[in-house]
Amino acid sequence: MMIHFRNCEFPPLQFVSYRYRYRWSCIYWISDRYQNLQYRTRRRRSGRYDVVLFFTGSGGGGVLKRTPVPARPFSTMFAVRNALRLGSRLFIPAVTRRGCAGAAIPIDDVVNGLTEEQIQLRQTVRKFFVEKLAPHADEIDKKNEFPGMRDFWIEMGTMGLLGVTAPVECGGTGLGYLDHIIVMEELSRVSAAVGLSYGAHSNLCVNQLVRHANEKQKEKYMTKLLTGEHVGALAMSEPNAGSDVVSMKLRAKKEGDYYVLNGNKFWITNGPDADVLIVYAKTDPEAYQKGITAFIVEKGTPGFSTAQKLDKLGMRGSSTCELIFEDCKIPAENILGPLNKGVYVMMSGLDLERLVLASGPIGIMQAVLDAAIPYLHVREAFGQKIGHFQLMQGKMADMYTRLSACRQYLYSVARACDRGHFSAKDCAGVILYCAENATQVALDGIQCLGGNGYINDYPLGRFLRDAKLYEIGAGTSEVRRLIIGRAFNSLFK
C-alpha cells in the first residue's frame, strides 16, 4: 500500500467484493454511492498509525474518524477493517474540499413569498448547478480559472439563464429581476466566483444592451450573448478611477467614422474571456461627466488587448484583468446610447447592477449554513454534539436571522423593481446590508468549525474571501452609505 501525507493525492479504494457486502456494509454503501473511497495514514511517535478514511463524489463529502492501528505493514483492507471495528458510528459526514454540494439547509420559499413558478425555478437551477458546477468549485478557486466556462455558458444559454430579464423578442426569457436574483443566488451558493462572472455577463452587459442598444446592435450582439457562444463584460473602472468613475482617463477621439481609444481599464470582471464589452470613455474631456460615451468593443479589435489576469484574494474563478487600448479604432455605429450621455447609460443600470449583485452575498450565506449547521450536529465534544451547546445555538440563530433579514430585504426591493418602482437609496442599501452580513456570517461559520474552518480542506475560507469582494465591487460600502445619506439630505433642501 502507498502511504501519502497531508496535501498529497491519495489512491482510491476501488475493490469492494460482493462477499464483503454484509461484513463491510458501510464501505459497500459508501463505495456504491460515492464512487471513490480514499484513506489517509499518519504514523505517530509512539509507533502507531492514525488512519483517516474519506470519500469524495457527487453526493458531497465525508470523513471516517481516525482510529489507531498497530504499527506493522498492512494492506488497504486491513486499514479499513481496523477503522470500522467500532462500527458505523465512525462515519462522520463532513464538508471536504469538494464543498457542500450534497448538503442543503432547506429554504422556506413560502415564507419568502415566492410563487410556484419561482420555487420551481430555484429547484431547477439548484439541481443543474450542483450537478454541473459543484464538483469543480474548489479547483476553480485553487487554480484561479474555470476551464469549462465556455461549455457551462452554453448550457446556461440553452436553459435561458443568460437573459432572464431580457425581453422574449430579443431572445431572452422575459422574467423579472426577482427571478434573476434567484438564479444568481443559487449559482453563488455553489460558486460565488462563477456567480460574479454570471452577473457581469447577464446584468452588466446584456441588460445594458437591452436598455440602450438600437435594433441593429441588438441583432448583431444579443443572440450569441444569450446562447452563451459569447461572454460579455462591462469596463468602467480604471487604476485611478474606481468609485469616482467620471474622472476616467480613457480617451476616445473622433476620426472620420471612427473613434480612436487610448488608455486602459482595470479590475474588469470577465475581461480575459469577454467577446463583447461595453466600454466607457471620455469623448469630450473638458465636459467632465457630460463628456463620457459608452462603446461596444469586440474581442480581437486591432489596438485592443488584455493584460495579465489579476491574482485576487477571492472570487478566483472569475477572471479579472486590465484592458489596454492603443489607437483602438471603434466604429461610430458602436456607440451605445446617445453621444456624450454615457453617464446616463451607466447610472441607469448601476442601481439594477447593485440589486442583482446583492444576491451573491445571499448565496454565500446560504452556503455557509449548508456547511456549518450539519457539521455542528455531527462533531462531538464533551460527550455531545457541539450544536447542542448554547453558544453554538446562538451562532446558528445569528447566521440564520442575518441571512433571512437580508433575503427579505432583497426580495422586497426586487419585487418593487419588477413593478417599475425602485430607488438608488434602496439598491445601495440592500447590497450594503447583504455584503457586510455575508462577511460576518462567513466569519461565524469559520468559528463554528474551529480549526477545521481555518484549513483549506473545508470551503469556509473560500466563502469568506469571496464575500469580502461585495464590500468593494459595484461601489464600496462607504460609497453606498454616501448614496443613502445624500438621499435623505435631499429631503431637507
475 annotated to a ligand binding site: yes
Question: 324 and 305 in contact (C-beta within 8 Å)?
Answer: yes
CA distances in angstroms from 461 to 45, 143, 255, 438, listed in the order given: 31, 15, 51, 13
Query: Is 391 annotated as ligand-binding?
Result: no
- Neighbouring CB atoms inside 10 A of 370's CB total 24
CA angle (46, 48, 52) in 5-degree steps? 135
Going residue by residue through the chain (493 aa), what tens digit of pLDDT does each one get?
Answer: 222 323 333 333 333 333 333 233 333 333 333 334 444 444 445 544 444 444 433 333 343 333 343 333 344 444 444 444 433 333 333 343 344 444 689 999 999 999 999 999 999 999 999 999 999 999 999 999 999 999 999 999 999 999 999 999 999 999 999 999 999 999 999 999 999 999 999 999 999 999 999 999 999 999 999 999 999 999 999 988 877 878 899 999 999 999 999 999 999 999 999 999 999 999 998 888 889 999 999 999 999 999 999 999 999 999 999 999 999 999 999 999 999 999 989 888 889 999 999 999 999 999 999 999 999 999 999 999 999 999 999 999 999 999 999 999 999 999 999 999 989 999 999 999 999 999 999 999 999 999 999 999 999 999 999 999 999 998 899 999 999 999 999 999 7
Q: What is the pLDDT of residue 17?
A: 32
Cα(190)–Cα(362) distance, integer angstroms: 12
Alpha-carbon distances of 234 from 17, 398, 433, rounded to whole Å: 56, 36, 24
CB neighbour list of residue 474: distance below 8 Å, 6 or more residues apart: 350, 353, 354, 357, 431
**What distance in Å separates the CA atoms of residue 129 and residue 190, rounded to the nearest whole number?**
7
**Residue 49 labelled as part of a binding site:** no
Question: Do the annotations mark residue 239 as ligand-binding?
Answer: yes
Alpha-carbon distance 171 to 226, whole Å? 7
* The residue to which cell 479589435 is assigned: 301
241 is in an annotated binding site: yes
Q: Which residues are CB-neighbours of 4 under 8 A, at least 6 positions away?
A: 10, 11, 40
303 known ligand binder: no
Residues labelled catalytic: 353
Residue at 280: amino acid letter: Y
Query: What pTM does this model have?
Result: 0.81
In DSSP terms, 233 is beta-bridged to 277
Cell for 110?
Answer: 413560502
Question: Which of 124, 289, 115, 294 is closest to 217 using CA atoms?
Answer: 294
C-alpha–C-alpha distance, residues 113 and 124, integer Å: 18
| 390 annotated to a ligand binding site | yes
405 is in an annotated binding site: no
Ligand-binding site membership of 234 (annotated): yes
Q: 359-492 adopts what CATH topology?
A: Butyryl-CoA Dehydrogenase, subunit A; domain 3 (1.20.140)
Which residue in 446, 354, 456, 360 sits closest to 399, CA to CA? 446
3-state secondary structure the chain: CCCCCCCCCCCEECCCCHHHCCCCHHHHHHHHHHCEEEEEEEECCCCCEEEEEEEEECCEEEEEEEEEECCCCCCHHHHHHHHCCCCHHHEEECCECCECCCCCCCCCCCCCCCCHHHHHHHHHHHHHHHHHCHHHHHHHHHHCCCCCHHHHHHHHHHCCCCCCCCCHHHCCCCCCHHHHHHHHHHHHHHCHHHHHHHHHHHHHHHHHHHHHCCHHHHHHHHHHHHHCCCCEEEECCECCECCCHHHCCCEEEEECCEEEEEEEEEEEECCCCCCEEEEEEECCHHHHHHHEEEEEEECCCCCEEEEEECCCCCCCCCCEEEEEEEEEEEEHHHEECCCCCHHHHHHHHHHHHHHHHCHHHHHHHHHHHHHHHHHHCCCEECCEEHHHCHHHHHHHHHHHHHHHHHHHHHHHHHHHHHCCCCCHHHHHHHHHHHHHHHHHHHHHHHHHHCHHHHCCCCCHHHHHHHHHHCCCCCCCHHHHHHHHHHHHHHHHC
Is 462 annotated as ligand-binding?
no
Ligand-binding site membership of 238 (annotated): yes
Using alpha carbons, list the distances in angstroms from residue 128 to 26, 95, 190, 191, 362: 29, 20, 10, 13, 19
What are the residues facing 68 on neighbouring strands?
A: 50
Residue 314 neighbours by CB distance under 10 Å: 21
471 is in an annotated binding site: no
Among candidate residues 62, 124, 119, the one with its CA nearest the CA of residue 91: 62
On the CB side of 110, how many CA atoms lie within 13 Å of its CA?
1
Q: Is 270 annotated as a binding residue?
A: no
Is 242 assigned to a binding site? yes
Has 243 been labeled as part of a binding site?
A: yes
pLDDT of amino acid 286 = 87
Measured between alpha carbons, how far is 94 from 110 in angstroms, rounded to an integer?
Answer: 29
What is the Cα–Cα distance from 299 to 322, expressed in whole angstroms? Answer: 14
**448 annotated ligand binder:** yes
